[in-house]
C-alpha cells in the first residue's frame, strides 16, 4: 500500500494525544480512585461536611481555614493565622475570625470559600495538569479522600508548594 503525503501526515498525527487527555494529568489513577471515594462520601454525608486546609512557611507563618458545607453550599468559614517565634518556639495567633452564611466573604486574607467539588475540579483542571519543570503531588490520606494536591517548581528554594493540604474531612 502506498501512502500519499496527506495520508501519511494523518496517520502520524492520529496517534498523538490532543487536548487534555489522561496523559496530561499527573497521578490520574490515584485521582480517579479518590474521586470515586469522594462521590461515595458525598452521598453518605448528604453533601454536608467540614474540611480544614492548612499551610505553613519556613519563616514560622502558618494558617488554617475550615469550611463548612451544607447540602453542597458553603455556609461557614473559620480562619486562623499564626506566627512562631524561631528563637522560643512560642506560637502567637495573628488573626482569627469566623463567618457564617450571612457574613461569608466579609474577611480577607484566607482561601476563598470552596467545596470539595471545587477542590477536585481544581485538581484535575489545574493543579495536576502536567507542566514542564515541576513535580506534581497527589495524596488521598483522608480515608481515600484528597489530602494533598499541587506541585512544586524545580529549583525553587523556599515555600515552593502550589496547591492545597487538607488535614481533615468530617461529616456534619
The residue that leads in pLDDT, 24 or 100, is: 100
pLDDT digits (tens, 9 = 90+) for 100-127: 999 999 999 999 999 999 999 999 999 9
Contact between 96 and 83 (Cβ < 8 Å): no
Q: Residue 114, by phi and psi: left (phi above 0), alpha (psi -120 to 50) or beta? A: beta
Q: What percent of the chain shows pLDDT beyond 70?
A: 87
pLDDT at 9: 31
- Domain regions of the chain by residue span: 25-171
**Minimum mean pLDDT among 23-37, 66-80, 90-104, 136-150: which range?**
23-37
In this prediction, residue 164 has a pLDDT band, given cuts at 50, 70 and 90, of very high
Question: Do residues 34 and 144 lie in contact, with contact meaning Cβ atoms separated by under 8 Å?
Answer: yes
Whole-number pLDDT of residue 14: 31
Eight-class DSSP state of 22: G
Answering whether pTM is above 0.95, one says no
Please report the pLDDT score of residue 61 as a whole number.
Answer: 95
| pLDDT at res. 26 | 83
Burial class (CB in 10 A: 0-12, 13-18, 19+), 142: buried
For the CA atoms of 56, 67, 149, 112, what is the dihedral angle to 10 degrees?
-80
Amino acid at each position: 500500500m502506498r501512502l500519499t503525503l496527506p495520508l501519511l501526515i494523518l496517520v502520524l498525527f492520529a496517534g498523538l494525544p490532543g487536548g487534555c487527555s489522561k496523559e496530561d494529568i499527573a497521578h490520574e489513577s490515584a485521582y480517579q480512585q479518590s474521586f470515586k471515594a469522594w462521590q461515595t462520601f458525598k452521598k453518605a454525608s448528604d453533601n454536608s461536611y467540614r474540611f480544614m486546609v492548612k499551610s505553613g512557611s519556613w519563616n514560622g507563618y502558618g494558617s488554617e481555614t475550615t469550611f463548612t458545607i451544607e447540602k453542597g453550599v458553603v455556609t461557614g468559614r473559620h480562619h486562623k493565622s499564626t506566627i512562631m517565634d524561631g528563637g522560643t518556639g512560642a506560637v502567637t495567633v495573628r488573626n482569627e475570625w469566623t463567618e457564617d452564611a450571612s457574613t461569608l466573604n466579609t474577611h480577607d486574607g484566607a482561601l476563598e470559600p470552596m467545596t470539595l467539588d471545587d477542590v477536585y475540579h481544581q485538581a484535575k483542571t489545574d493543579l495536576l495538569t502536567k507542566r514542564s519543570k515541576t513535580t506534581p503531588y497527589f495524596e488521598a490520606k483522608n480515608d481515600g479522600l484528597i489530602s494533598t494536591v499541587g506541585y512544586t517548581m524545580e529549583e525553587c528554594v523556599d515555600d515552593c508548594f502550589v496547591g492545597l493540604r487538607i488535614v481533615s474531612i468530617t461529616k456534619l
